[in-house]
A and B are shown apart, each in its own frame.
Chain A
Amino acid sequence: SAVISQKPSRDICQRGTSLTIQCQVDSQVTMMFWYRQQPGQSLTLIATANQGSEATYESGFVIDKFPISRPNLTFSTLTVSNMSPEDSSIYLCSATGGEGQPQHFGDGTRLSIL
């Protein structure tokens, strides 16, 4: 299965700033996803990162707040823009090799906003 690395693993940021999270996969994958997980809660899908085109966002998430890039088949970034304390959460990247294949996850980025 693919190995997924996220950077940074954690960060503490000031209100109003932006942070870009990187997700690197050790092999080419078909699909990549970004999730948010509040402490003690389940995972909520933010968007599907599409290679070569704009990401597909879930209801409640918008590109201006969470711009996503996916320049190739092994790498994606998620930016959390104009952060507020409500954005404090764990952000997880996942990837899958293709249709019907399971997702594999990175260990997440724990983000705290002061």
Chain B
Amino acid sequence: LAKTTQPISMDSYEGQEVNITCSHNNIATNDYITWYQQFPSQGPRFIIQGYKTKVTNEVASLFIPADRKSSTLSLPRVSLSDTAVYYCLVGDAGYSTLTFGKGTMLLVSP
């Protein structure tokens, strides 16, 4: 069962790039890495998912090194509305194992 470790909190300013790293040393061959954003009183919202190398979509990039023991969520040019908790989830494609990290509270200031 892959255990994940994330920083508890991070601070940034509007317009900056933010990188949040998740460690998952025991990741299994079949595991994917998925990142979610959660605002208070809402469910987690899917941001991005990857298996290896780099994945990019309209809101974020996900960098996964060759050994896959960590992953980095990159948010370009954050705004105040990006203030939220970000969760790293490691789980296999068949969803037989699902482990959420403890989450990183990102605070974006003006």
By a CB distance below 8 angstroms, the chain A residues around B41 are 107-108, 110
Contact, CB under 8 Å: A42 / B95: no
Pick the interface stretch among A13-21, A68-76, A78-86, A92-100.
A92-100
A103 at the interface (CB under 8 A from B): yes
Contact of A108 among B43, B93, B103 (CB under 8 A): B43
B77 at the interface (CB under 8 A from A): no
B interface, size bucket: 20 to 34
* Minimum CB distance partner of A31 in chain B: B95
Q: Give the docked Cα–Cα distance between A94 and B92 (Å).
A: 16
Q: Is the interface of A mostly helix, strand, loop or mixed?
A: strand
A interface, size bucket: 20 to 34
B110 at the interface (CB under 8 A from A): no
* Minimum CB distance partner of B97 in chain A: A45
Contact, CB under 8 Å: A105 / B44: yes
Which 5 residue pairs are nearest across A and B when measured between Cβ atoms?
Answer: A105-B43, A100-B93, A107-B43, A99-B93, A43-B100
